[in-house]
Copies of this chain bind each other. A is one copy, B any other.
Amino acid sequence: MNSLVEENYLKALLHLANQEGFVNVNDLSKHLKIKMPTVTSMMKKLALKGLVHYESYKPLRLTSSGKKEAISIVRKHRLTEMFLVEKMGFGWEEVHEIAEQIEHIQSPLFFEKMDLLLGFPKFDPHGSPIPDKNGKIETRKYLKLSDCQINDKLVIKAVNNHSSDFLKYLNARDLTLGTKISILSIEDFDKTMVIQYDNHPAETISLTVSERLLVEKVKK
């Protein structure tokens, strides 16, 4: 059995490995806001438990058992987010902190029931894939809106930032998953975009926003 703290290290390792390929003690330290010596000693502990490959001064890697454990926590987190939104009436901007706590509940049955009640969902409310019970993850490569061109026709499929402020910004503009948008113009200087969608007046969005919106091209 892993402690809540250990679970958070594993989850962070998986997250950073997905983002950056390999993970330094320093990255993990910054991500978790925990000082490097603490991280080093936790890595040694997790190495003893067979969850992490650790060698001094080398990048950190999850073992296959560590990865399995980490994926199972991500599964619980995302199922919870989906449950909170679909079954309890939360907004997608409200669920992250709660799911961060509930993911550590020790009860396989509890998450089984969520999965069943939700009809075995493949994606969470932010468009992130929910790993299945065997740890298999349906990966889809989305584009960042910021990498798209003028006149592209796109659908918003996911967001890569779950902060409440960002999601409230999207709510205020009706930018939800599934929204079809076209790019009317892109400012050369700072990549500010003007986009159009539904019956909305054109919206001007900064690079900070367009980098966080994950889209797919629509043939049309």
Interface residues of A (CB under 8 A from B): 84, 87-90, 94, 97-98, 101-102, 105-107, 109-110, 113-114, 117
Which of B89, B98, B102, B117 lies in contact with A88, CB distance below 8 A? Answer: B117
Q: How many copies does the complex hold?
A: 2
Q: B residues within 8 A CB of A113?
A: 88-90
Q: B residues within 8 A CB of A117?
A: 88-89
Give A102 to B84 CA distance when docked, in angstroms: 14
Give A117 to B83 CA distance when docked, in angstroms: 13
Q: B residues within 8 A CB of A105?
A: 98, 101-102
Give A117 to B84 CA distance when docked, in angstroms: 12
Q: B residues within 8 A CB of A107?
A: 97-98, 101
Q: A88-B114, A94-B109, A101-B107 are in contact. List 4 more A-B contacts (CB 8 A).
A: A88-B113, A90-B109, A90-B113, A98-B107
